[in-house]
Amino acid sequence: MSQPQRITLALTGASGMPYGLRLLECLLQAKVQVYLLYSQAAQIVIKQEIGETWPSRAKEVEAMLHTRYGLANGLLQVFGREEWFAPVASGSNPADAMVICPCTMGTLAAVAAGMSDNLIERAADVSIKEGKKLIVVPRETPYSALHLENMLKLARLGVCILPPNPGFYHHPQSVEALVDFVVARILDQLAVPHNLMKRWGDVT
């Protein structure tokens, strides 16, 4: 896979929001155009885990993030769950890849069942039907048989199931290092260059 020009990033209401927001930051630093989707539950988790209160309107979130990261116009677009005229809602204008991070088991089940009841589910459905890269970062433990069956169903469709399981062989000294380990694996799947950590066997 060549480096994508446009990526859809969906934030859902699972724990693990530091992964999603760090991924967003890294994608924007790499000058990748991002379509950001988020659920109402994601706003609650952001408040709980990050300590931030995001506005209820998507365009207000977009303005806030543009200011935070000093973005050029058009690099980041934010859409609400019912914005059916968003580019990602149609197979005629899909992003090059999509990541759901973190992904709830409810979203996972809906995607596995082909549901399109909101923009996140529809964008995932479009990614699958158009043969685009879809990465799901499921945050739950333990997994039930139902969870595993849904993941297997998606894996057989070519979806990348990437649980946020950090390694420890690089001797992480902070929570941020653990987050970066997982984000690095996601960026590798997207073919987006990064310098988040040394690679195995790299002695330089």
Token digits of residue 75: 């690099």
- Gap between the Cα atoms of 12 and 99, Å rounded: 11
Residue 167 assigned to a binding site: no
Residue 110 assigned to a binding site: no
Q: Which amino acid is at 198?
A: K
- Gap between the Cα atoms of 93 and 112, Å rounded: 22
Residue 90 assigned to a binding site: no
Residue 16 assigned to a binding site: no
Strand duo 97-103 + 6-11: pairing:
parallel
Residue 35 assigned to a binding site: no
Residue 104 assigned to a binding site: yes
Residue 106 assigned to a binding site: yes
In sequence order, what are the residues at sequence separation of 6 or more whose Cβ sits closer than 8 angstroms to the Cβ of residue 75? 28, 31, 33, 34
Residue 39 assigned to a binding site: yes
| Binding site per annotation, positions | 13-15, 39, 104-107, 139, 169, 185
| Binding site per annotation, positions for FMN | 13-15, 39, 104-107, 139
| Binding site per annotation, positions for dimethylallyl phosphate | 169, 185
